[in-house]
């Protein structure tokens, strides 16, 4: 007989925090992948004269950038974008190192009234999408 003042160990409770973490990481991964542009969208925008915007800082851009990309660093986006893309209906393709800053830039541009903005994600992913 088990004394009333002792708890019976619950083996599944030991795994519950790990299960929650794994589910959260999986959900974050799926959400991030959904926020990036697909190859078909990118191809359509390129055929329509899209401008590629690199939102990394100038030092990152100087260390290597995609052909034809213009550098508009994220902190300067609000003040500089109208020089690079005065037409708010022009297709814009954004990228950075990981996709985080380009995601923030996409949100900013949509707030400014730009209607055709895609987040390519990371530099490597952008290079692959643009070389197709």
Q: DSSP letters of the chain?
A: ---TTSPPP-HHHHHHHHHHHHHHHHHHHHHHHHHSPPHHHHHHHHHTTPEEEE-S-HHHHHT---TT-EE--GGGHHHHHHHH---TTS-EEEE-SBSHHHHHHHHHHHHTT---EEEEEBHHHHHHHHT-
Q: Which of 96, 117, 120, 129 is catalytic?
A: 96
96 is catalytic: yes
Q: Which residues are catalytic?
A: 96
């Amino acid at each position: 007989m088990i004394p009333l003042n002792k708890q019976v160990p619950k083996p599944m409770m030991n795994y519950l925090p790990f299960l929650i973490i794994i589910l959260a990481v999986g959900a974050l991964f799926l959400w991030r992948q959904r926020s990036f542009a697909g190859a078909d969208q990118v191809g359509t925008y390129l055929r329509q004269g899209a401008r590629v915007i690199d939102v990394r800082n100038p030092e990152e851009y100087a260390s290597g950038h995609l052909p034809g990309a213009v550098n508009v660093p994220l902190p300067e986006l609000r003040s500089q974008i109208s020089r690079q893309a005065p037409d708010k209906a022009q297709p814009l393709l954004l990228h950075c190192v990981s996709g985080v800053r380009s995601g923030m830039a996409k949100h900013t541009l949509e707030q400014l009234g730009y209607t055709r903005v895609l987040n390519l994600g990371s530099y490597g992913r952008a290079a692959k999408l643009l070389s197709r």
